[in-house]
Chain A
Amino acid sequence: MASRQAVPVYKGGHQVGKATSMTWSPVLKKLITLATVSREYAAVGSRLRVEFTIDAVRHKVEATVVRTPFFNPPRKVAVPPSGLTVNLARRAPSRHRVIILCLIGVFNAYLKEGFMAQAQPQTYANHGRSVAAFHFVALPILAVNFLWSAYRAVTGLSFETALAALVALALIIVALCARLFALWAQDRVIRFEMRLKLAELLPDDLKARISDLTTSQLVALRFASDAELPALVRQTLAGSLADQKAIKQAVKDWQADYQRV
């Protein structure tokens, strides 16, 4: 019954392959064989005929292509619950919770430091602000992520690595855009606020030229006190204060702006 000698496999009188090893499966209670057949007849369910010799007489018996492995019950790949797995499953959530709580605490501390606490009064020297969570955590992580995925894409180009690199790039663009869009909205509000203020404070000859001030000049002028504002505007319009930095340095009585983030 068992055979390691290849025997022909037929379909409609023509040989389409060979059965290379045959055996009786005591588990399946079936005679099974591995065979090499032309691809037209290789589909599961395909009906073929296999040469079978009984008492030195060759017969052809009916055979059906079945899925391999022949015997593949779910219990073959079932994973028993072991003590170790159960313990880990029980302990993991609490450990995760501790880590997440720590991260939230650190993040909150950063936010407080960035947005609220102002230990000393604001001056030109310290009016620039960096939010640690954004500038020193999020952006470096995004940069490292981009560099790593770009390196992966260059060394082993495939759809996955290329997509990862593009997503990393998109994340950086999203982060920068989120920052810029907020700044533009704030600039617009500052422009509105400053134009109203200037319309009240400026002498008549300067009032007519309020619209000549650019947004960036208005943004810099907001740090000036009401008293020195007309003089600064006159200098700015005359062109003697070239950029934001020059205007800010010309401010003597610094009016703090804690709202800008």
Chain B
Amino acid sequence: MSRLALIPSQRYSPFEMGLGRLVRLDKARFVGQAALRAERRTGPARRVVGLELDWPEIQRLFEAASLPP
């Protein structure tokens, strides 16, 4: 993912994406091991989550604008 990032905020770590269970930190050295270890200790600063929007509220807004949703 990080290789395709155009700006720094597009670089996601596995812990941010909720894929931390797939990371094995105790195997032989690899690039980014220290950073991932630190991040696991402190927890990621941001998380990718799923959101459900309030659809009735959106329908009311469309109605107020006299538009179909």
In the complex, are the beta carbons of B47 and A37 less than 8 A apart?
Answer: yes
For the complex, what is the distance from the CA of A32 to the CA of B52, rounded to whole Å? 5
Q: Mark B25-69, 1 if CB is under 8 A from A, else 0.
A: 011000000000000000111111111111101100110010101
B49 and A65 form a contact (CB under 8 A): yes
Tell me, rounded to whole Å, the shortest Cβ–Cβ distance linking B27 to chain A.
7
A250 at interface by CB-CB < 8 Å: no
CB-based contact A55/B54 at 8 Å: no
What are the residues of chain B within 8 A of A1 when measuring CB–CB? 69
- Which interface class (under 10, 10 to 19, 20 to 34, 35 or more) fits B? 20 to 34
Give the chain A neighbours of B69 by CB distance below 8 A. 1
B53 with A66: CB separation less than 8 A: no
The CA-CA distance from A30 to B55 in the complex, in Å, is 7
**Residue among B52, B61, B62 with most chain A CB within 10 A:** B52
Contact of B57 with A61 in the complex, beta carbons under 8 Å: yes
Q: Indicate if A142 sits at the interface (CB-CB under 8 A).
A: no
Whether B51 contacts A33 by the Cβ 8 Å rule is yes
Point out the residues of chain A lying under 8 angstroms from B27, CB to CB.
Answer: 156
Q: Given A52-B61, A54-B61, do A63 and B47 touch, yes or no (CB 8 Å)?
A: no
Once A30-B55, A54-B61 are accepted as A-B contacts, the answer to whether A35 and B48 lie under 8 Å apart by CB is yes
What 0/1 pattern do residues 15 to 56 of A give for CB contact below 8 A with B?
A: 001010010000000111111111100100000101010110
* Interface set, chain A 43-99, CB cutoff 8 A to B: 48, 50, 52, 54-55, 57, 59, 61-70
Tell whether B20 is near chain A: CB-to-CB under 8 Å. no
A66 CB contact (under 8 Å) in B12, B51, B55: B51
Q: Which of B26, B43, B53, B57 has the most CB of A within 10 A?
A: B53
Q: Are A9 and B58 in contact (CB under 8 A)?
A: no
Residue A249 interfacial (CB < 8 Å): no
Q: Are B50 and A66 neighbours in the complex by a CB distance under 8 Å?
A: yes
B12: nearest chain-A partner, CB-CB: A36
A52 contacts across to B, CB distance below 8 A: 53, 58, 61
Residues of A near B67 (CB, < 8 A) are 54-55
For the complex formed, measure the closest distance between the CB of B67 and the CB atoms of chain A, giving whole angstroms.
6
A216 within 8 Å of B (CB atoms)? no
Q: Please, which residue of chain B has its CB at the minimum distance from the CB of A52?
A: B58
Cβ contact within 8 Å between B50 and A68: yes
> What chain A residues lie within 8 Å of B16 (beta carbons)?
36
| Structural contact, B47 and A36, CB atoms closer than 8 A | yes
Closest partner residue, chain A, to B45 (CB atom): A39
Please report A residues at the B interface, Cβ cutoff 8 Å: 1, 9, 17, 19, 22, 30-39, 42, 48, 50, 52, 54-55, 57, 59, 61-70, 156, 158
Top 8 A-B pairs ranked by shortest CB distance?
A: A42-B47, A62-B54, A68-B50, A31-B53, A63-B51, A33-B51, A63-B53, A55-B65
9 A-B interface contacts by CB (under 8 A):
A30-B52, A37-B49, A38-B45, A52-B61, A54-B62, A61-B61, A62-B53, A62-B57, A64-B52
Q: Give me 10 other A-B pairs in contact (C-beta within 8 A), A36-B47, A66-B49, A68-B50 excluded.
A: A30-B53, A35-B49, A35-B51, A52-B58, A52-B61, A54-B58, A57-B65, A62-B54, A63-B51, A64-B51
